[in-house]
Structure 1
Amino acid sequence: MIGLIIAFAVGLVLSISLTPLFIRYLVHNHYGQFIRQDGPTSHMTKRGTPTMGGVVIIFATVVAWFIGTLINGGLPSWSGILLVFLFVGIGFIGLLDDALKIMHQRSLGLHAWAKIVGQVAIASLFTWGILTIPNVHGRTPGIFDISLARPLGLTFTQWGIVAAVILIVLWVNFIVAAWSNAVNLTDGLDGLAAGAGIFVFVAYTFISYFQLLQSCWGDTLNVAACYDTRDPLSIAIFCSSLVGALAGFLWWNASPAQIFMGDTGSQAIGAAVAGVSILTDTEFLAILIGGLYVITTLSDVIQIGVFKLTHKRVFRMAPLHHHFELKGWKEITIVIRFWLIAALFAVMGAGLFYAEWVSQL
């Protein structure tokens, strides 16, 4: 437990102290946000606000995770290393995207194909990693099963090992791309994505730490309900570190934001949700835990789909938070209410996880 607390504290202190220094650097070099012309007109006042704040989130999280791991008396686990690799790797693609937007002063950064190729390469390497280097119990960080709160018994290996490998690579790539884009779409108002992320990773800190307490290789007496997930403590420390980093960043990102996380931050946070859900065997439970991100994405999908079919709009503007902006809601009102929704989804997800465990007793 001490490792989790230290990791949170280090992530918070690093993020809240380094962000203003990074803001000064960005302002000095005129690295400001480009605002899309078709967005709400109220957003034009945000033009030039420093972006790429995700760099601080990533740095603070990784350092805090490493320190928390050492405090706990061990070296980084294979699961933790893979999670950090995915988090940093996808964040780096977001950084390139942000940098190109600033350089060209337009809302389009990396070419879509370049972004896809980069994400596929990183997610595929992550997939290879989670299926290799078993621990002393023979458990690799990832498995070939589809999971809710634990494996559902639906395994890709039923179609043979070659097909299973292809399917798991496609499955992991889909999860990483889906969550990265979901968080990216949600990052449209000051503090919205960061605040929602805090609730998501608090829930996952609880889930991964509970899996440690009820590990099949620990002292638990509930053999029928135990978890055989690999390195749950390392995952819990990472989640606690990210909560601290997001909280520290939110101090400067809350309305009116002095810095934006950019694609650097949103893509990395989405990758973290994907990675943690895969490593804790909770891929489908993550849909509930990150429900706000899911709803935001669905609003965009619905808007585009309906418009293509009927040439009519369901929402005044998508994603959903812009719809309420155009209805006259103040930005801070939308953000706080959406935070409450995010908290509700996270609590329901953690509650469902615990209820499933109780049902196994």
Structure 2
Amino acid sequence: MLVWLAAYLDKYASFLNVFVNYVSVRAILAALSALIIALFMGKPMINWLTKMQIGQVIRDDGPKSHLKKGNTPTMGGCLILFSITISVLLWAKLDSQFIWLVLFVLLGFGVIGFLDDYLKLVLKNPKGLRAKYKYLCQSLVAIIAMIWLYLALNPYMDFSLSIPFSKSWAVPLGIWVILLGYFVIVGASNAVNLTDGLDGLAILPIVLVAAGLGVYAYISTNNIFAGHLLFTYMPNVGIEELVVFCAAICGAGFGFLWFNAYPADVFMGDVGSLALGAALGVVAVIIRQELVLFIMGFLFVMETVSVILQVGSYKLRKKRIFKMAPLHHHYELKGWPETKVVVRFWILTIIFVCIGLMALKLR
């Protein structure tokens, strides 16, 4: 919205064209706006959630140190989604259909997570939204998004799966990109959801991966940097606005971390984790960097694989591989303090994101 205003007033004050022509400036402003909104709205939302007694239910079979977290306000993901949405609407060019696409996925998965949290925490239904209905809703949103994306980009590019650390290898996909994108979006959503189990554990990796994808989005839509790095140049059809979206995720994420750091005043709940995971997935699909997301978000992969291995091993052998899954609980039960688990997982994510960024040059 402010971009339109700046474009209109540019004839009276030429310096305003910096907001129109430089996506980097708008990305910084989007991050700052989302951060300020989250910090400003955080405490009132926490107080309201506490008043409404919308508190987290703690499993009694997990680490005993978690029992003291019972009734900590949750559904704080609403704060993140609100901050991102307002910031993006303020600073992105709204004639880019890709901005509306990523907002559709973010808010669509957010609604699914909200329904799950509402059923569990407000209506006191311990099962929440049944798994089959949750997966059906996730699939519907992801398929609509991928059909939308395929129709939007098909005239401009030949869809292929980019191979990191290679400037020439790529796997042609064609219409099969819809299926790949579906699995990436739904998979990323549920992987982040599984990771969100300790104070601050999920939100900083989300911010780091969003920042990494934002770098890829900026470089792939800038013909100078793309040419210098021998990178595939993306068509100039509004994809560069994803830089603003990724920056807004970073700002809102840091604002939420202010309240979610140990000991957490609020948890994001499914409304935040499902939505943010799906958002990372759809950004990676749009900029054709699904495997880079796999590298940068390898922490989420580790957590998901630990659950799959644990369930599979118990069903087949009646034995558990880990003391508890997801993986972060395993290390807690081994005696690691919660803060040590969180910080070490943060360090791992920094390493994974750096490896993903190395693929920009080592090609």
Q: If the TM-score is normalised by the length of the shorter chain, which range does it land in?
A: 0.7 to 0.9
Q: What displacement does 1:108 show? A: 2.2
- Cα pair distance change 1:151/1:251, threshold 3 Å: farther
- Cα distance in 2 for partners of 1:44, 1:287 equals 33
Aligned partner of 1:99 among 115, 118, 121: 118
Asked if the contact 2:207/2:250 (under 8 Å) is kept, the reply is: yes
Check if 1:14 corresponds to 2:37.
Answer: yes
The aligned residue for residue 26 of structure 1 is: 49
Letter in 1 for 2:173: F
- Cα pair distance change 1:169/1:232, threshold 3 Å: closer
Check if 1:227 corresponds to 2:233.
Answer: yes
Aligned partner of 1:169 among 178, 195, 198: 178
The aligned residue for residue 239 of structure 1 is: 246
Which stretches of structure 1, 4 residues or more, deviate above 4 A after TM superposition?
149-152, 219-224
Q: What displacement does 1:30 show? A: 0.9
Q: What displacement does 1:226 show? A: 3.9
Secondary structure in structure 2 of the residue aligned to 1:355: coil
Aligned partner of 1:325 among 321, 324, 332: 332
- Cα pair distance change 1:76/1:34, threshold 3 Å: farther
Q: What displacement does 1:194 show? A: 0.3
The aligned residue for residue 161 of structure 1 is: none
- Cα distance in 1 for partners of 2:226, 2:192 equals 36
Alignment of 1:227-306 (within 5 A): 227-229=233-235, 230-306=237-313
- Cα distance in 2 for partners of 1:209, 1:223 equals 12
Aligned partner of 1:213 among 209, 222, 225: 222
- Cα distance in 1 for partners of 2:109, 2:55 equals 21
In the TM superposition, what whole-angstrom CA distance separates every residue of 1:170-190 from its partner, at most 9, and x where no partner exists?
Answer: 322211221111001100000
The aligned residue for residue 87 of structure 1 is: 106
Asked if the contact 1:34/1:107 (under 8 Å) is kept, the reply is: no
Q: What displacement does 1:340 show? A: 0.6
Identity, in percent, stands at 35
Q: Where do 5+ consecutive residues of structure 1 fail to align?
A: 158-163, 357-361
Check if 1:182 corresponds to 2:188.
Answer: no
Check if 1:337 corresponds to 2:337.
Answer: no
Letter in 2 for 1:255: Y
- Cα distance in 2 for partners of 1:12, 1:134 equals 32
The aligned residue for residue 125 of structure 1 is: 144
Q: TM-score, length-normalised on structure 2?
A: 0.87
Alignment of 1:26-175 (within 5 A): 26-69=49-92, 74-105=93-124, 107-133=126-152, 138-139=155-156, 144-149=159-164, 152-157=169-174, 164=175, 167-175=176-184
Asked if the contact 1:34/1:105 (under 8 Å) is kept, the reply is: no
The aligned residue for residue 361 of structure 2 is: 354
| Root mean square deviation, CA, Å | 2.1
- Cα distance in 2 for partners of 1:316, 1:234 equals 44
Q: What displacement does 1:311 show? A: 1.7
- Cα distance in 2 for partners of 1:186, 1:282 equals 22
The aligned residue for residue 202 of structure 2 is: 193
- Cα distance in 2 for partners of 1:283, 1:11 equals 26
- Cα pair distance change 1:61/1:152, threshold 3 Å: farther
- Cα distance in 1 for partners of 2:113, 2:342 equals 23
Asked if the contact 2:220/2:231 (under 8 Å) is kept, the reply is: no
In the TM superposition, what whole-angstrom CA distance separates every residue of 1:291-345 from its partner, at most 9, and x where no partner exists?
Answer: 1111111111111222222222211111111011111111111101110101110
The aligned residue for residue 160 of structure 1 is: none
Asked if the contact 1:214/1:220 (under 8 Å) is kept, the reply is: yes
Count of residue pairs brought into register by the alignment: 337
Letter in 1 for 2:220: Q
- Cα distance in 2 for partners of 1:210, 1:221 equals 9
Q: Where do 5+ consecutive residues of structure 2 fail to align?
A: 1-23
- Cα distance in 1 for partners of 2:108, 2:272 equals 11
Letter in 2 for 1:227: Y
Asked if the contact 1:50/1:259 (under 8 Å) is kept, the reply is: yes
- Cα pair distance change 1:76/1:189, threshold 3 Å: farther
Q: TM-score, length-normalised on structure 1?
A: 0.88
Q: What displacement does 1:104 show? A: 4.0
